[in-house]
Structure 1
Amino acid sequence: MTSVVQPMDQGVIKNLKHFYRRHLVQTLLTDSLEKNTFSKIDILQAARMFHRTWGQVSQTTIANCFKKAGFAKNSDQNPSEVLKKMLLLHLMDGKQQHLKNMLMWT
């Protein structure tokens, strides 16, 4: 049920975890082979790895997750167009909420 309500659960997070773990293992193995010890990874390094692996998640994966959740009615749409429309809707919703908040305080 959660994956229907939260489209990110339908594959984006799984995909991101896959890329992150692969990058983490490669980093640890490379360091252990070079230094003959396991190196520690601090929070900054983990955040940088996460940032790099997020770039590996494709727009198609993200768009497919939202399609499966029922947000995209036309399956022939270009994934980047779907993402642009969703971003626009999100921004518009944020502006409406901002206006409501401003009107409440006036």
Structure 2
Amino acid sequence: MNNLGIQYANSNKSWMTSLIFKNWVERLNSKMSVENRKILLLLYNAPVHYFDGEFSNIELYFLPPKTISKIQPIDQGIVHSFKSLYKKGMTRNLSMGTNIGTLSYTHELTKFKLVNALPLIIEAWNEVTVDTIKNCFNKALNNWAKIDEKILEESTDEKGIKFKSPYN
């Protein structure tokens, strides 16, 4: 997978694990350090996202528990755009030399593996526009302003960020 320019990790159940996530964040932090960049990661409040450690170039922000999708930027159209672009690329890739709906097309689908999907995933993500991402963040922020203030008070500290493990 490294020859595709990506890092790949898996687990027995095909789920994200704390170790996979931690290793990914550590690699990302190293990359951001080399590039002299600082970033903020917005994370679902999920147990796999919690681990001890601080990063020089990454700040973790955990969305409040049970955060509704209306205030999550990724759910405001980023995923939809990515999936549409991926499906378009997959259809284009599989239909080369075959007619959709024919037996040969169905046969091509059965041969389609992860290694075939990864370049299409990279291509689809690279085609998601900056404007799409900005618009989704703006939409989420507008929705965020409308949610119950009590939820905000319970999930923020004086900086507006609360880093609290669900296990405390």
Higher relative contact order (CA 8 A, sep 6+): 1
State how many pairs are aligned: 70
Greater strand percent: which structure? 2
- Structure 1: runs of 5 or more not aligned: 72-96, 98-106
d(CA) in 2 for partners of 1:61, 1:12:
7
- Picking from 91, 94, 109, the partner of 1:28 is 94
Off by >3 Å, runs of 4+ in structure 1: none
Please state how far the C-alpha of 1:18 moved relative to its aligned partner. 0.6
d(CA) in 1 for partners of 2:97, 2:122:
20
Residue 141 of structure 2 aligns to a residue in which SS? coil
> If the length of structure 2 is used for normalisation, what is the TM-score?
0.38
- 1:69 counterpart = 2:135: no
Q: Deviations over 1:4-51 (max 9, x none)?
A: 231111001000111111111111111425xx8232211011111111
Residue 24 of structure 1 aligns to a residue in which SS? helix
Greater helix percent: which structure? 1
d(CA) in 1 for partners of 2:136, 2:90:
25
Residue 89 of structure 1: aligned partner: none
- 1:37 counterpart = 2:104: yes
Paired AA for residue 28 in structure 1: L
d(CA) in 1 for partners of 2:141, 2:95:
41
Residue 112 of structure 2 aligns to a residue in which SS? coil
Residue 93 of structure 1: aligned partner: none
